[in-house]
Structure 1
Amino acid sequence: MNLMHWRLLVAVADHGSITAAAGHVGMTQSAASQAMAGMEATLGAQLFTREPRKTLPTALGLSVIEQARVMLGALQAIRSTVDEARPMLRGTIRIASFPMVLATFLTPFLQRFRQLYPGIDVTTLDVTDNEVLTLLEADLIDLGVVLNPKPERQATILGRDCWMAVLPTNHPLAQRPADASVSLEELFEQAFVLATGGCSANARSLGAAVGLTLRDIRVEVREWSSAFSLVREGVGVTLVPEMALPVERQGLRVMPLTAPRYREFALVGSPNRPPSAAAAALLKMLAER
């Protein structure tokens, strides 16, 4: 038997119902029923009587429940003693990020951070990359996720992905062998569906960085999913980040660039002030991962 079993035991006594107790301790009703039956089997005694609308402790059950309360109280006292002896870092962190990076890169780290620093409240905002910069400049957030951070700016790198060409399966360039690539130069000569994903970093800016211009933009869309639909219909080709590629690729040919191009995600602080103790703790954890 583990700690959850004893908490469940006390919760059943307090709520008079296995169903209500299950919800209180975060278990399903069936798992709670099995756990209770297992406890009674292990102890070799009946602790509760089950009635149609009520679960009541037996005389022996009352004694066991009382001891369980003493045990759980002692455990809480131990935790309180440890917390008092070890000062808990407290504070708040406001982080702005575009949704895809938040879900893919940041969320697992933030879950771990909350376990390590329960006294720090973390709030996340879903915004575009341009909005991240605006919020940072206005000092309205503590940290923000930026694309391709400038070398002079102190940044904590979260990850990166590469740009991939997406073409209709019947496009001439898509007829190349399975391991073939396509150059940025020849891609930019095609009828093009420009997808931005709400970001300033897109095919147009990628080309501008190397002196290339899109010759024939048929349509410009914000959502990656809209671009994939238009490519399937043969409107044109597109260029998207790898993490934006769809799971369902019927009608699409995805090809790497001959000279790979990457975009990097990084967490940066306000340019107007040093990070708070709470924000510094998060940056330190990310740097040491």
Structure 2
Amino acid sequence: MMNLMHWRLLVAVTDHGSITAAAAQVGMTQSAASQAMAGMEAALGAQLFTRESRQTLPTALGLKVIEQARVMLGALQIIRSTVNDARPQLRGTIRLASFPMVLAAFLPPILRRFNQLYPGIEVTALEVSDDEVNTLLEADLVDLGVVLNPGPERNATLLGRDNWVAVLPMGHVLSRRSAHETVSFEELAAQPFVLATGGCTVNARSLAAEAGLVLRDVRVEVREWSSAFSLVREGVGVSLMPEMTLPAQRQGLRIMALSVPIHREFALVGSSTRAPSAAANALLQMMAD
């Protein structure tokens, strides 16, 4: 079976007069190159080269075949150049800021797919808090940022959404309810509380304030979600956390839905001071599609 590397090999052998030198040029071993040449001659049913002690020279038929191979390879290069010249947005860089959880959970598969589609665009991801994302966007230091609960004025591209859920230690009075029962935010706010922020300004305290509530007894405040789960297991208090942060192993925990659901959205937005670059638009368009 003949492929482009085989045709490049034949041209290189003609140019160098040596299978060894030609193999090195196209990235093959000498033995693999010899086998490939023999396979092509067998497939075509004709001898393309003569092998002498120090040189490998094309036959008269080989010269005609290789002339057409040069035309074919040249046409392929022209096609590639034409496509690249017509799509300049396929080259460039994107500076993207995100808070840790989304950067770890949502962005990797998106960025892998984007790299496959646009290998000429380099994406640099910065891990920051959610309020730092907005600061970087306003200062025009990044091209795109992941923000929480964007308003309609942000022209955002949705990445995902999840619900806030109550997390209680097993044996807590509220966790004794049946599997289908819920718990109110008011009930949670009145309990000893483990406040987890995840490095975000949107957390149980800010959500309580929006609902006109106060967390009456915050026993401990932590940044890491994993630390909060451990503290809840130990009975330090109850908590309110995003659903996507829940651990795979939930022994010792009771997860309950809120009676009035609260959800959050995270989305990509661009700088408010300038239009997205061609590279950033390519990423936004891929996600929109």
TM over 0.5: yes
SS of equivalent to 2:158: strand
- Residues 4-43 of structure 1 aligned to structure 2 (within 5 Å): none
1:120 Cα shift? Answer: 1.5
**Which amino acid is 2:175 matched to?**
A
The corresponding residue for 1:99 is 100
Q: Distance in 2 between matches of 1:172 and 1:57?
A: 75
Residues 171-230 of structure 1 show CA distances to partners (whole Å, capped at 9, x for unaligned) of: 011111112211111111110000000000100111111111101100100000110111
Instruction: Structure 2: state its 5+ residue gaps.
Output: 7-19, 44-65
| 2:282 is aligned with 1:281 | yes
The corresponding residue for 1:64 is 38
Residues 221-256 of structure 1 show CA distances to partners (whole Å, capped at 9, x for unaligned) of: 000011011101100000100110011111111111
- Residues 126-141 of structure 1 aligned to structure 2 (within 5 Å): 126-141=127-142
- Residues 1-289 of structure 1 aligned to structure 2 (within 5 Å): 57=31, 61=35, 63-64=37-38, 79-86=76-83, 87-88=86-87, 89=89, 90-288=91-289
Residues 7-27 of structure 1 show CA distances to partners (whole Å, capped at 9, x for unaligned) of: xxxxxx89x9xxxxxxx99xx
Q: Distance in 2 between matches of 1:179 and 1:269?
A: 41
Q: Distance in 2 between matches of 1:193 and 1:4?
A: 62
TM-score (norm. length: structure 2): 0.75
Q: Is the 8 A contact 2:2 2:40 kept in 1?
A: no
Q: Distance in 2 between matches of 1:157 and 1:204?
A: 25
Q: Distance in 2 between matches of 1:58 and 1:102?
A: 44
Residues 18-39 of structure 1 show CA distances to partners (whole Å, capped at 9, x for unaligned) of: xxxxxx99xxxxxxxxxxxxxx
Change (3 A) 1:146 1:58: closer
Change (3 A) 1:282 1:177: same
1:136 Cα shift? Answer: 0.7
Change (3 A) 1:62 1:103: same
**Which amino acid is 1:105 matched to?**
F
Q: Distance in 1 between matches of 2:119 and 2:33?
A: 40
Q: Is the 8 A contact 2:93 2:122 kept in 1?
A: yes
Q: Distance in 2 between matches of 1:164 and 1:283?
A: 30
Runs of 4+ with deviation above 4 angstroms: 1-6, 65-68, 72-79
Larger radius of gyration, structure 1 or 2?
Answer: 2
Tell me the number of residue pairs that the alignment of Structure 1 and Structure 2 aligns.
247
Q: Distance in 1 between matches of 2:146 and 2:264?
A: 12
Instruction: Structure 1: state its 5+ residue gaps.
Output: 7-12, 17-23, 26-54
Q: Distance in 2 between matches of 1:2 and 1:188?
A: 71
SS of equivalent to 1:57: helix
The corresponding residue for 1:34 is none
Residues 67-95 of structure 1 show CA distances to partners (whole Å, capped at 9, x for unaligned) of: 79x8x999875653322121232211110
